[in-house]
Amino acid sequence: MPRNDYFPRLAAERPDIALCRASSAVAKAVEAASDLGVGAHLVLKMLAAVGPCSQQVLAEELRIDRSVMVGVADGLERAGHVRRDRDPADRRAYAVTITPAGRRALARAEKGVPSFLDTAFGGLTAAERAQLTALLGKLL
């Protein structure tokens, strides 16, 4: 058996592995196509949509591990895309707020999304993309 035949067979047997590898490939493509990583993009998108949130709420809603969320928030804060202020309702927590620079970074990243999606999912028809989206929604 040639070695280059192994992974396609493994992926056919193990959808969990196929999904993990596909997710990793898409995440790498997002990062190559944008100045923002997937996590940073999602955080900015949520903050722009719903307003200031605690890191805990962001992590829960976006399904990002809490320890990863700390790093994402730190990076966004260093870049000037968010600020963290003490939550007046809970002095132990921080409210994360998108800044004007964060809104500009999000707008730039969002402009590239349609092109990125066409590239990343170019091997699928529109119907297959819709089906994949529906199936992933069911899993999540």
For residue range 17-57, list pLDDT tens digits in order: 888 888 888 888 877 777 888 899 999 999 999 999 999 99
| Cα distances (angstroms) measured from residue 71 to each of 25, 40, 87, 107 | 21, 10, 19, 22
Let me know if residue 102 belongs to a domain.
Answer: yes
pLDDT at 2: 58
Alpha-carbon torsion (102, 108, 113, 119), positive or negative: negative
Rg (C-alpha) for the chain, rounded Å, is 18
Residue 7 domain-assigned?
no
Longest dimension (CA), the chain: 63
Task: Indicate whether 103 belongs to any domain.
Answer: yes
For the stretch 78-85, contacts whose Cβ atoms lie closer than 8 Å and that sit 24 or more positions apart, written own/partner, are 79/105, 81/40, 81/44, 81/105, 81/106, 82/43, 82/44, 82/47, 84/55, 85/52
Q: What token pair was written down for 67?
A: 């320890």
What is the tally of structural domains in the chain? 1
Q: Is 16 within a domain?
A: no
Distance of CA 44 to the CA centre of its chain: 10
Residue 50's pLDDT is 96
Residue 112: give the domain boundaries.
39-139
Give the model's pLDDT for residue 53. Answer: 92
24 in a structural domain: no
Quick check: is 63 in a domain? Answer: yes
What the block records as the tokens of 87 is: 């939550």
Which pLDDT score, from 0 to 100, does residue 35 have?
Answer: 81
User: Is residue 88 situated within a structural domain?
Assistant: yes
Q: What is the pLDDT of residue 127?
A: 94
pLDDT of the residue at 125: 93
Domain containing residue 73: CATH number: 1.10.10.10
Instruction: Please list the helix, strand and coil fractions of the chain in percent, rounded to the nearest 5, in that order.
Output: 70, 10, 20
Cα–Cα distance between 78 and 71 in angstroms, integer? 10
18 part of a folded domain: no
| Tens of each residue's pLDDT in the chain, 140 residues | 556 788 888 888 898 888 888 888 888 887 777 788 889 999 999 999 999 999 999 999 999 999 999 999 999 999 999 999 987 777 788 899 999 999 999 999 998 888 888 888 888 899 999 998 898 888 88
